Amino acid sequence: MVSRGFLIRFIDIGLIAMFGFIQISDIESLAQVELQAAAPAATGPQPAGRPTAMVVVTVSPEGRFAVSDAATGAMLAEALPTTALLTAALRTARDERVTAGREMIVLIRPHEASVVQRTVDVMDACDRLAVRKSLETDLRLQARP
């Protein structure tokens, strides 16, 4: 009976010490995510530097990539099956826009049925080409049954 009381007191002291350390510790959030409505490409805010040109990369449910110009809607590349082909298409689009004196921004539009890895592949391609990117998401809230 004496050992049971000791164990309960030991657990109680341990919990008090743990909550004390939690309260005095410096807890800091590493990132803040702000959710806001996406502005249309034509009226979006322009940075102070070079003018921007938006290019849209769509990820299909099958995992294929399509690259189009957001301003004109012209298809630059369609049904690309590999990341290497996507990178080549983005490099060509970037070079054309840099030649025109514009900075390219890639808007990534994944299909809701596409594999998330394909979206990450687009982000990696943008990082390799040093191109700014933005991810368009469609948050749908469903009522609980």
The pLDDT confidence band at residue 114, using thresholds 50, 70 and 90, is confident
| 40-54 confidence digits (pLDDT tens) | 444 444 445 678 889
Does residue 145 carry a pLDDT above 80? Answer: no
CATH class name, domain 51-135: alpha beta
Number of other residues whose CB lies within 10 A of the CB of residue 54: 19
Closest by Cα among 97, 92, 102, 91 to 47: 102
Q: Which of 75-79, 84-88, 119-123, 137-141 has the lowest mean pLDDT?
A: 137-141
pLDDT tens-digit map of 10-39: 899 999 999 888 888 766 655 555 655 555
Give the C-alpha separation, 71 to 40, whole Å: 10
What dihedral do alpha carbons 131, 81, 60, 77 form, nearest 10°? 60
